[in-house]
Every structure is written in structure tokens, then in C-alpha cells.
Chains A and B, each alone.
Chain A
Amino acid sequence: MKETVFISGLYSGPSPSAGLGVARSLRAAFPSAHLVGVDYWAGSSGLHHEVFDATWLKPPWDLIEEDLYAKEVRAELDRGALWIPTLDLEVAWLARTLATHPLLLAPDEKALAPSRKPRPSVAELLPFEIAPSLDLSASDEEIYAFCRAHSWRVWIKGPYHEAVAVGDWRQLEQVRTWMREGWQTDRLSVQVHVRGYEESICLAAYDGRLCDALYMRKRITTPEGKTWAGHVGELPADLLGSIEAAVKAIGWTGGAEIEVLRDVDGRRWWLEWNPRFPAWVHGATLSGRNLPAALVRRALGLPDGPRAFSAQAEFTRVVLEVPVRSGIPLPLPAEPEHGQLGVHGKYGASLSAIVPMLVPDEAPSAAAPTLSPESEADLLATAAVVATPHRLFLPRTAEAAFARMPTVAPVEGILLRYAYSLKTSPDAEYLMLARKAGMLAECISLLEVRRALEAGWRADEIVLNGPGKWWPPTERAVDGLRVVFCDSVEELERLAVSGRTDGLWGVRLRIPGSRSRFGVPVDEPGDFERLCAAVANLPPGRDFGIHVHMASTMIGVGHWRDVAESSVAWAGAIEAASGRRVRAIDLGGGYHPDDFARLPFREIVRFAREKLTSLTAVYVEPGRALTQATMAMVTSVLDVRRQEGKLQEVVVDSCIAELPLAAVYPHRFFHLVGEQPVPVSRGPVRVLGRICMEDDVLSQGLDLPDTLRIGDRLVICDAGAYERSMSYAFGRGGYS
């Protein structure tokens, strides 16, 4: 074969493109072929490899003349050259820009569409599990709920490639903003992390017919997660038929890589369909299966080549130096800045500039926040607010929240008792509602104990927790409390000789694997033995219990259940090792209002009952779940800032002093129009607080109307709980 083959995508750094591997494979099969390497950055080291007979160094994509380039590519194809693109975005551009051509060995638009993120329909044709995902056009509340439901083991994914793991809302906001700016599109998604081995299917197909396919298991990956070494083998028999059917159904032409994860239970999970050969494709060629050559043979109507695997099924990469090709000197290093030393090897082809060519200008269309009927009625009171910022109590919302507390019938005599967390919201309205709901009181200081007693709770209805629970020393250390949970072995030892008459003493555990500064560590056998000895030395007849607290809001619902069940396992271990029966488990608080009713308390009580035969009570300490949505901040616009006539930033008269957790979780925003709160979706306008702190940003972006004026009012919901109790006076000249 003496045809010319253009192969694009020659970046060969730590996250390489496939062009060089494709070229080496073609050279192995077709020694006389004329191989032309194409790239868009002089620093792409594949340009300098001897495998190429010639090179095309085109401008980066932010400078390329799109029409001219399309004509140039078409002219080469019409002259009889083949073209194999290996850059995802370039593949999409070719599909959009050129009509189907028999020598363009890449998918057309019709084939490409079913493979696009975030929900490629081709995935449904294949026998893989599909990891849950969500478009980031969903409302922030929905995105936040998705992340909590999946224990914050999630990835933010770009529209064509790129995925970044995020572990909390703040990180999600940062990555979303960064990706949106980088890709110049809102077409992002969030996908659940799957714990599995990284494996790939590499295939070549022409006009909907499979030329060849194989299976690769990654053995070593780079820190960026890219293949460094792998094992190549036949496609498992259960996959071949469905791959053939999928390729036929979408009419695929070109190379492709289907990335999958295989979990330890043996299930294969769909990750993505890359519309080109993988960068490791020459590793498969070395093992005897040359897929780029199979594709070219099929396109040229040549007979299929050999398909037998060699004895060596594994490949690995090495780093090699090559001389720079004359005529393409390396780019000079930029003047050093204050960051890392040296020239970064980042690909300089400006590929993201292709995205606007593919995706027309689109207005962000995030879903708007919603209100419960109670909150809707409560927010009518915003019209009567005179001075701002003003935190408004929402009485109907609060009553509904306390009334909706899940009732859990006793499991074999074990009661689930709710203890209201005073620290979350110690205001009288909440204490009254908690008392009315029959809750116990959970306190973390003697001042809170005094407050609980004043609100009407008896001492034997109070649960005392926390590392500084006996503070302040001037306060009376009320005896006869229902439960006291110690935060250290030392505290338990002091309690044992205190002569107090509380109903139950226990310890808070620092569950291994969960980062916390609280409680007794048990991840060393010596610490565990010391704890068991202290428990064994408690006075006879004193009931003993275990406390854990990992906020489900922070760690997510699945992981919260793991922590809860883990606490039961530790309680069993302590019981066995100390001889002291565990009578109570306290699961703490920190539940999101929307999760609270859905948490599997009954299953956990049942699980605890099975493991701890002397258990009599399980305590739960809601505070945030009951109060977060029960306050709203009414705030006025102080300044309206525009760029090129478009609203860009507004400054409001509330700030992070009133909303200290503004960046920690999403808040629902409303614009008061007349007396009506109009929901505000996510959008381009930043909302800045009034104080001189760099992090005083109340929203990273809202879809506020261009007509917004100074004096207009916004309502920020979800301003109760810690937003209320942790707020502070700042920038008020000492006046509160």
C-alpha cells in the first residue's frame, strides 16, 4: 500500500493523543505508506518522530481559519488520501464540517450523536451498568441532593472529555466555574464514582461493520489516570455480539475506545465512548492485533490482516528522546512566572476553541428553585420587612418541619428517640416546637443545659455531648442528666469517679476512616484496649452507650449509613472486650432537611438490635434538618455592576457575617417583584456581600434580570440553623 494517510493528534506528553500510536501501527503493517502527521502545536513531540514521512503543523484552533482548513482536508481526501483523526473535538468538528467521505476514517454526525455525553444512547445497546449521572443544568438543590445521595463520590465531567472528582459543594462550585470557563459551555454533568478496575474496549469499524475489537485491562496508570501499561486480550464472548450490534446500529466508522470499570463483584460499568483510537493502540499492535491497519484495509477494500495474538499479551510504555525535526523548532519557553519552575508540557493546540464551533450560543437554562406550600405562604411576609438585611422566621415552614419528623415504631422494644440539638438554633420558637414534638434536648455546654431547663425540659430529658460540655465552670453542673457522652477516655475516667447520678454514660467514637477531631480514637489496638479498660471500670449498675456523629450533609447518605453501622460494630467489640453491655447508641445529627425523612433509621435500629442484645434506645439529634429551611434573609441591592451593558455583579446588604455558610451548601434565591418572590435560577451574575472580605460572595452566579436596580430586594432561603446560630456582627461599627 502506498497511499497517503493523514494522522492528527500528535501530542505525546503525559496524557498523550493517539496519533503516534496509530502511525506506528500503520507503519508496521504498511512499510511503504506515506504517513503525514498533523498537529496544531509545535510542542507536540510526536511531530518529530521518524515514523512520519511529512508533517502538517496547522495553527492552534483559536487561530485556525475554519473554512480554509475544511477545504484543505477535503482536497486531500478527494486526492485519495486517508484521514484518521485522534482528537475528540477534532473528530466532532470534522463530523460537523465535512460531509461523509469514504476516506475520512471517522464517525459522521449521525454516528457520533448517540455516543455523546452525558447520556449516550449507544450505552443502552451494550450490556453494561450505567453509573447514575445528572446534567448540571439541574437546579442546585437537585445537584446537591444527587451528591449527598451518592456520598460525594462524584465526578464533574466536561462535554467531550475531562473529569474532576469533587468532595463537597465548595469544590463542586469551583470546578463547575472553572470547567464552564474552560469549555465555554454549560454542557457539564456530574457522575457517580464507580469503584472498579479500569478496562477498555478498542474497536475499529467501517460503515457500521466491525473490523476488529479487543479488550485491554490497565495494569499501571499515570498520576493523571492514563494508561501506562496494560494487558491485551480477546473481547469477552458475552460482549462481541453486542459491540457488533451497537456499531451497526449507529453506523460507526473509525476507531473507538469504550472505557469501562469492572467492579470487584464482576459488573462492568459504562464510563465513556471515545470517538477515536486510544493512545495505547500500538500496545495492542505489539501483541499481534493491529486495529488501525484493520481499519485502513477495510476502507481500501484490502483483505483482512492477521488477527492472532502473540505470546506476549502485555505492553508498557517507556520515555524516549528523539531529535527534533528540522524545520519545526520547539516553541521557546515563556518568561518565568511565580508558579512552578520549568515549561509546562500542557498541550497548546487550544482545542477548547472548537467547542463554540460545535455548540451554538446557548442561554443557561438551569432549573429554578422551588418552595414548599408552607414556605410560599411564609414568604409573603417579606413584603412587610422594613429594614434590611433582615432574617425572617418562617413559622408555617417550621411547624411543618417538626410535624414531619419521621415516626419510627419501636423495634423489639427499642425506641428511636429524637433529641433537639440546641446549638443549631436555640431560639425560643424552636425550643417550644421541639418540646411540643416530644423531643429530648441535646446540649453541648452547661449554658445550653441551663437554657433547656428554662425551656421546660427536665434533667432526665437532656443528652449532654461535646468536648467542652462542662463549660463554663461558673455554671452549675446539673446532675441526673439522661445521658452524658464523653469525648475522651480521660473524661470518662473522671466521670467514673465523679459521684454523678446520670442515667447513662458513654463515649463518642472517632470512627476509623472518617476524618474527625472528635471522640475517642480506636484505630490502634492500644487505644481500644485503654478505652475498654475504662469502660470496664465504670461503676456497676451504670448504663453505658456509644455516640457517633458524622453529618450526612457532609459525608452523604450511603457513607453515613456505613458510619452508623460501623458504630454498632464498635459497640459490639467494646461490649465483648469490656464485659459492659451497650444500652444506647446515639447517631448524632447534621442531616439535610430533605434527607432526614429518607434515612433508614428503622433498618439501623433493627441492625443494632441484632448485634447488641441489651440495647434499649437509639438517639438521633436533628437540628439542621428541622430548622435550616425555616428562616430566610431579606436583603437589598446596594450596587449593580455591568460589563458591556450586561449585568455582571451585584452587591447586597447582607454578607457572610449573616450567612457564614453561604459557600458550604446551595441556597435558594428569589427576587421580590412587587410582593411576589420570583425564583432565580443559576446564571452569570455574581452576588457579592457588603463587607470587605474577599470570600464574601453569596452566590457564584444567578440569572438575575438585566432590569435589576439598586434598592431591589432578594430573598435568600435556607438561612436558618447554623446560618443563624453561627452568624456574627462584622462591619457594623460595634452596633449590632
Chain B
Amino acid sequence: MRSGVADTPEREEWKQAVGSTLTHHGPCCDRARAWLIAMGRSYDFSSTDGLALAGPRWITQRWAWGPIRWPVAWCEAVKAETIDCGVFGAFALELFRAKGIEAYPGQLLRGCAEERISHWRRKWDAIPTAFNWIGTRVVYHEVSVVRTDADQARIYDPTEGFWLEPGTQSGHHGHLAIRAEIPVPLKWGDHELVNGRWTATALATAPSG
């Protein structure tokens, strides 16, 4: 199930990228994390809805998606108006783990309509220290890998606030490959996730980059 896309991510830095982490200044960042977790409990509605695996939908509604200067500290991230998928991913991991759900960082390679990419590039070029996630027809994206069983995983996209489906339509926004930072191999639908390895998820024609 490996493809050219998975073996040759468009950029060398994607191949090596790990889940984004926010820096920690000290007490100000302790406060920020405590605030985030308490906010998560307020929006969780776990007794009302009786759901164990509800994702932190509220972060998608609260923060706009866009470029942010890296490195980012917790105290800066929570106050930012706009955050990128790396910050969304870091927030989601913190929130899943705070309620006892086993969650890990994950990265996706995703198809993207070329006519969109010029706009993303312009937006990100304005922030020189922002992470360069934009290829030509493929983009890099961060997600949360949620372990639901001994060998099963589900993938939550905190930027968009939805659970990804392992089977996918090829083309714009479809996922092409996934990499998970997990302690044991997990299955996501028919896909085998192995720690640190890119796994192709679509058999679509691999963009040449």
C-alpha cells in the first residue's frame, strides 16, 4: 500500500516532520494550558450527550485557521486569533488526553486543488517563520490519531472539526498518506499505521510534485 506520494513527500522537511509542539515559558503557559483544559470540560457535554469520543469541536469554532509565527508558546497560542493546523493539533491532543482518551500526533498528505494553492502561498508568505506546508498539488496537514481499541485508531481533524474516513475519494482534500506517532501499530480502516512511517491511504495517481 505504499505509493510514490508516501515515499517521496514533496518536501524533505515533511518527511522528517513530527507533530507540532508548543513551547512552554513557565507559569504563563501553565495558566494557558489549565484554561484550555477547563474550556474543554465546559464544552464537552459528556453527561448531557453521553459520548466518550466526542471531538473538541469548539476549538474549530473559536480559532480561525491561518498562518502563525513558529515557535509558538502556549500562552501566545491561546490568545492568537489565527492558528495553523499544528496548533490545532497540539490543542486537540491536550484536550483528548485531559479526558483520558489516548491520542497521538499524526500528519497527513492531502490533495489540494492547484488553483487554491496560490492563495495559501500568498497568505503564508506574509509570515516568514510560519511552517511551509504547501506543495504544488499536495499539502501537509496535522491531525490527531485517537486509539479506540487495542489495535484500532480513528483520525480527528481538529482544524476542520471532523473525523476522517479511511476510505476516501481521490482529488481535492482527499488524503493520500498518513504518518502517526504511536506506541504500537494500529489499524485505521484497512490501513496499517506504524510509528513514524508514512502509509499511503489512496491509490490515486501520485502527484509528481
Contacts and interface: CB of A to CB of B under 8 A. Distances in A.
Interface string B39-50: 101111111111
A265 B51 contact: yes
Interface in A506-558: 511-514, 522-523, 525-526, 528-529, 532, 556, 558
A263 B49 CA distance: 10
Contacts of B37: 569, 573
Interface string B43-71: 11111111111110010000000000000
Interface in B1-47: 27, 30-32, 34-35, 37-39, 41-47
Interface in A559-588: 559, 561-562, 565-566, 569-570, 572-573, 576-577
Interface string A257-270: 00000011110000
B122 interface: no
Nearest to B36: A525
Contact of A525 (B35, B43, B50): B35
Interface in B137-171: 163, 169
A512 B39 contact: yes
Contacts of B52: 265
Given A265-B53, A528-B31, A532-B31, A559 B47 contact: yes
Nearest to B38: A573
B196 to A, nearest CB: 28
Interface in A306-341: 313-314
A287 interface: no
Nearest to A523: B39
How many interface residues does chain A have, given as a range?
20 to 34
A205 to B, nearest CB: 28
A424 interface: no
Contact of A576 (B34, B41, B46): B34
Given A195-B51, A513-B43, A566 B31 contact: no
B167 to A, nearest CB: 8
Interface in B169-205: 169
A576 B78 CA distance: 17
A133 interface: no
Contacts, number: 87
Contacts of A576: 30-31, 34
Contacts of A570: 38, 41-42
B42 A511 contact: yes
B173 to A, nearest CB: 12
Contact of A264 (B51, B58, B78): B51
B119 interface: no
Q: Which of B31, B55, B58 has the most CB of A within 10 A?
A: B31
B201 to A, nearest CB: 16
Q: Which of A153, A565, A573 has the most CB of B within 10 A?
A: A573
A396 B35 CA distance: 48
A18 to B, nearest CB: 26
A525 B32 contact: yes
Given A195-B49, A195-B51, A562 B44 contact: yes
A681 interface: no
Contacts of B43: 512-513
A313 B32 CA distance: 44
Top 3 nearest A-B pairs (CB, nearest first) are A573-B34, A569-B41, A561-B47
24 contacts: A153-B49, A265-B51, A265-B53, A512-B42, A513-B43, A522-B38, A525-B78, A526-B79, A532-B31, A558-B48, A558-B49, A558-B50, A559-B48, A562-B42, A562-B45, A566-B38, A566-B41, A566-B42, A566-B44, A573-B34, A573-B35, A573-B38, A577-B27, A577-B34
Given A529-B31, A562-B44, 16 more contacts: A195-B49, A265-B52, A265-B53, A313-B169, A513-B58, A523-B42, A528-B31, A528-B35, A532-B31, A559-B45, A559-B48, A562-B47, A566-B38, A570-B38, A576-B31, A576-B34
